[in-house]
Amino acid sequence: MRIKSASSTIPEVDMTPMIDVVFQLLAFFMMISNFEQSEADERVSLPKDQLAKPPENKRENSVVLNFGFERDKDGKVLDPNPYLFFGDEKFTVQSVANRLRQESQFYSTIGTDLADVTIEIRADQGVKTGMVQELIQLCQEEGIGFQRFALKATQKVE
């Protein structure tokens, strides 16, 4: 009896190496993705300093205040007055008190001592220092009452 040989065989592609590479890439991108700095606003251009190292222990309770200028796509300053950015909202130092009061009340409601909450100030390198000082003073005012402060900078590698 004659055995008919298949004339149109489908060549099997070995997928294993491709899957290996794809998994490697996936693992790489998962490791490198940083969701923690999602509170950082791109409009703020932080000052650079070589001693500014990320803290070894992450703070449990912190409020990030982004204080910078409105910029266009190229990073050019559009408005000389700095603003505090909370997502799409923006406030001046004079008008941010209510927002800070809300943050303070939130921590009081969940039973966290305000002495354990750090205000992390991400101020633009071109902001007037007096305004940052006013912001710190505002955070300490009665009805807000934050006590711990940290000033953010980008790590400069030389």
Residue 121 near residue 152 (C-beta atoms within 8 A): yes
Residue 132 near residue 123 (C-beta atoms within 8 A): yes
List 10, 15, 78, 110, residue binding other proteins (CB under 8 A): 15
Q: Which is nearer to other proteins, 7 or 29 (CB)?
A: 29
- The span of 70-78, 89-97, 105-113, 135-143 binding other proteins (CB under 8 A) equals 135-143
Interface with other proteins, residue 95, by CB under 8 A: no
Interface with other proteins, residue 149, by CB under 8 A: yes
Residue 84 near residue 143 (C-beta atoms within 8 A): no
Q: What are the distances in angstroms from CA 134 to CA 4, 103, 129, 139, 141?
A: 90, 18, 9, 9, 11
Interacting positions 17-76 with other proteins (CB under 8 A): 18-19, 22-23, 25-26, 29-30, 32-34, 37, 40, 46-47, 49-55
Smallest distance, other proteins to C-beta of residue 11, A: 16
| The two three-digit tokens of residue 126, written as one number | 């071109």
List 77, 97, 114, 136, residue binding other proteins (CB under 8 A): 136
Half-sphere exposure of 88 (CA within 13 A, CB side): 0
**What single string gives the DSSP state of each residue in 33-62?**
---GGGG--TT----EETT----SS--SSE
Cα separation, 45 vs 47, whole angstroms: 7
Interface with other proteins, residue 110, by CB under 8 A: no
Interface with other proteins, residue 152, by CB under 8 A: yes
Residues that bind other proteins (CB under 8 A): 1, 3, 15, 18-19, 22-23, 25-26, 29-30, 32-34, 37, 40, 46-47, 49-55, 120, 122-130, 132-134, 136-137, 140, 147-155
